[in-house]
Structure 1
Amino acid sequence: MKRVLLMLVIAFAGYGLKAQTNDSIPRLDPKTKNVLNIQNQAAFQLAMRYNDAQSAKVQLYQLIVRNPENLRFQEALASLYFESGETMSAALAALDILEINDKNIAALEIAAYSLEAVGALDRSLPHFESLYLLTGDNFSLYKSGFIQYSLKRYEEALNSVNMLIKNAKVDEKIGFPKSQTETQEISMKAAALNLKGMIYLDQGSKSEAKTAFEEAVQLAPEFELAKENLQKAQ
Structure 2
Amino acid sequence: MKRVLFMLLMAFCASTTIAQTADSVARLDPKLKKTLNNSDQAAYQLALRYNDIAAAKTFLYNLIIRNPDDLRYVELLGTVYYEAGQAMSAALVSMDVLQINDKSVTSLEIAAYSLEQVGALEKSLPYFESLYLLGGDNFSLYKSAFIQYSLKKYQEAMNSVNMLVKNAKPDEKVGFPKSQTENQEVSMKAAALNLKGMIYLDQGSKVEAKAAFEEALSLDPDFGLVKENLAKTN
Q: What does residue 6 of structure 2 align with?
A: none
Aligned pair in 2 of structure 1 residues 33, 173: CA closer, same or farther (>3 Å)? same
Asked if residue 25 in structure 1 is aligned to residue 19 in structure 2, the reply is: no
How far residue 232 of structure 1 moved from its aligned partner, in angstroms, is: 0.4
Query: Which residues of structure 2 form unaligned runs of 5+?
Result: 1-10
How far residue 25 of structure 1 moved from its aligned partner, in angstroms, is: 3.5
Instruction: Count the aligned residue pairs.
Output: 221
- The TM-score, its normalising length taken from structure 1, stands at 0.91
Asked if residue 97 in structure 1 is aligned to residue 135 in structure 2, the reply is: no
Asked if residue 87 in structure 1 is aligned to residue 87 in structure 2, the reply is: yes
Structure 2 CA distance, aligned partners of 1:208 and 1:23? 62
Aligned pair in 2 of structure 1 residues 19, 141: CA closer, same or farther (>3 Å)? farther
Question: Among the aligned pairs, what percent are the same residue?
Answer: 67
Q: What does residue 216 of structure 2 align with?
A: 216
Aligned pair in 2 of structure 1 residues 174, 63: CA closer, same or farther (>3 Å)? same
Q: What does residue 198 of structure 1 align with?
A: 198
- The TM-score, its normalising length taken from structure 2, stands at 0.91
Aligned pair in 2 of structure 1 residues 147, 22: CA closer, same or farther (>3 Å)? farther
Q: Give a deviation string over 1:178-202, Cα, whole Å, max 9, x none.
A: 0000000000000000000000100
Structure 1 CA distance, aligned partners of 2:44 and 2:19? 26
Structure 2 CA distance, aligned partners of 1:18 and 1:232? 62
Q: Give a deviation string over 1:80-109, Cα, whole Å, max 9, x none.
A: 110110101100110110111111100000
Q: Larger Rg: 1 or 2?
A: 2
Structure 2 CA distance, aligned partners of 1:18 and 1:94? 25
Counterpart mapping for 1:109-188 below 5 A: 109-188=109-188
How far residue 32 of structure 1 moved from its aligned partner, in angstroms, is: 1.0
How far residue 20 of structure 1 moved from its aligned partner, in angstroms, is: 4.7
Query: Which residues of structure 1 form unaligned runs of 5+?
Result: 1-12
Aligned pair in 2 of structure 1 residues 191, 19: CA closer, same or farther (>3 Å)? farther
How far residue 46 of structure 1 moved from its aligned partner, in angstroms, is: 0.7
Q: Give a deviation string over 1:144-163, Cα, whole Å, max 9, x none.
A: 00000000000000000000
Aligned pair in 2 of structure 1 residues 82, 164: CA closer, same or farther (>3 Å)? same
Structure 2 CA distance, aligned partners of 1:22 and 1:140? 42
How far residue 22 of structure 1 moved from its aligned partner, in angstroms, is: 7.4
Which AA in structure 2 matches 1:219?
A: L
Structure 2 CA distance, aligned partners of 1:148 and 1:43? 43
SS of the aligned residue for 2:122 comes to: helix
